[in-house]
Amino acid sequence: MAHKTRCLFICKKRIDSYGISFGLLNSATFVVNALNAHDIESKIVSVVDSNCIDREVSEFKPTHVFIEAIWVTADKFEVLCKLHPKVKFIIRIHSKIPFLAMEGIAIEWIRDYQAVANRFKNLKVSSNNKDFNDDLSNIIKIPSVYLPNIYAPICDEPIESHWTEFEYDNEIPRCLENEPAEINIGCFGAIRPLKNHLIQALAAIQFAEGLNKKLRFHINCNRIEQKGDNILKNLRALFVGTPHELVEHPWMGHPEFIKLVKTMDMGMQVSFTESFNIVAADFVSNRRPIVVSPDVDWVSEASQADPNSTEDIVKKLRRAWRGGMFDLTRINLKALVKHNKQALEIWLDQLL
C-alpha cells in the first residue's frame, strides 16, 4: 500500500512587532487550506530557528516538508536529509531576481542547496513564479520545481462562487451619483524600494483631484524593509500641506486585514517586482477594483499599469473607476479562480 501523502510547511517565526501573520505565513497557509480540502493532510508550523525542524518532522511524520523561503543553511539540510531519508524536503523561493538581488546571500545559498541536492536526492529547490523557475533551471543551471501560489483563505464562501453573483441592474456606478467627497485607496504591503509606493501615491493624488475628491491613501507603516525608511519619510512629506491624507495602518492578521480591504474604494499594487501578490488577490476576491503592474500577471492586462509612468497609472485608475469598473472586477475575479484551478492541478501533480 502506497504511503499516504502528508505535507508539512515550515516558516521561520518573526520575533518582532509585525505579529504572527505575515506574507510567507499567509501564502503557506492558503496552500495548506487547499490541500486539506482535497484530502491531502497538511500542516503549517512556525519555528524559532532551523534546530526545531527535526522535532517537527519527527512529530508529524510527513512525506513532504516545505521550507518557506531562504533561511535554513545548506549544512542543516545535509543533516536533515540524512536523518529523514524518506522525506522530500522542498525549499520554496517566493521572490524573483530583482528582489533576490537585494538579499546578499540569495544566489550563494541557492547554489549551496543544489550542491546538497546533488548528494541527497530528497532535497529540491522550488519557485512560485514561472519566469524565475525557468531562470533557475535554464540560466543558473539549478533544477527547480514550479509550485505556484494558491489563494485559499478561510472564508464564508469559496471565491469560485463570487464572480457569478454580480447583479449589474442593481448596481449604480459610484462615479455617477451619490458620490462621497473622498476616495479611499489602499496601497498595502511592506515599505521597501521595489514596492514603488511614492509614484503610486503621486498617481493617486492626481486621480483623486481629477474626480474633485479628497484622497485618503492607506499604507502599512510599521513594516520597513531594505532601507525603506526614506520612502516612508517621503510619503509623509508628500501629503503635508495638501487636502489629502496619508492613513497609516499597523501590520495585522489576515482576517482583520480583509475587513480593512472591504472599506477601500480601490487598491494599488503597481510594484516593480512581484511573484504573485497576495494583497492584489485580497482586493480582487473582495470585489474591489485594483491596479497592478505587469508583474502581477494573473490580473487582466487592462488593470496593469507601467510602474514607471504616473500618467499610465492614472489612466488605469480611471479605467477601473469609471465605465469598466464592474467588468474589470468581474474579469479579475474570474482570472483569480482560473489561476487557483491551474495552480492546484500543478500541486496535485507533484504530490500524488
Domains (ranges, CATH) in the chain? Answer: 6-147 (3.40.50.2000), 159-338 (3.40.50.2000)
- What pLDDT was estimated at residue 223? 72
- What pLDDT was estimated at residue 228? 76
- What pLDDT was estimated at residue 206? 98
CB atoms < 10 A from the CB of 234, how many?
12
pTM reported for the whole predicted model: 0.90
Q: Is the dihedral of CA 192, 197, 198, 199 positive or negative?
A: positive
Please give the chain's pLDDT, 352 residues, in tens: 356 999 999 999 864 433 344 788 899 999 999 999 999 999 999 999 999 999 999 999 999 999 999 999 999 999 999 999 999 999 999 988 888 888 778 999 999 999 999 999 999 999 999 999 999 999 889 999 999 999 999 765 555 554 444 433 333 344 444 578 999 999 999 999 999 999 999 999 999 999 999 999 999 987 767 677 899 999 999 999 999 999 999 988 899 999 999 999 999 999 999 999 999 999 999 999 999 999 999 999 999 999 999 999 999 999 999 855 568 899 999 999 999 999 999 999 999 8
What is the rounded CA–CA span in Å between residue 291 and residue 205? 15
- What pLDDT was estimated at residue 226? 66
What is the rounded CA–CA span in Å between residue 333 and residue 161? 10
Nearest to 219 by CA among 176, 151, 285, 271: 271
The residues, any chain, with a CB within 8 Å of residue 93's CB and separated by 6 or more, are 69, 70, 100, 110, 125, 126, 127, 128, 132, 144
H or E, element range at 261: helix 254-261
- What pLDDT was estimated at residue 323? 57
- What pLDDT was estimated at residue 253? 87
Check: CB of residue 194 under 8 Å from CB of residue 162: no
From its phi and psi, is residue 170 left (phi > 0), alpha (psi between -120 and 50) or beta? Answer: alpha
Three cell numbers at 88? 522530500
What is the rounded CA–CA span in Å between residue 16 and residue 25? 15
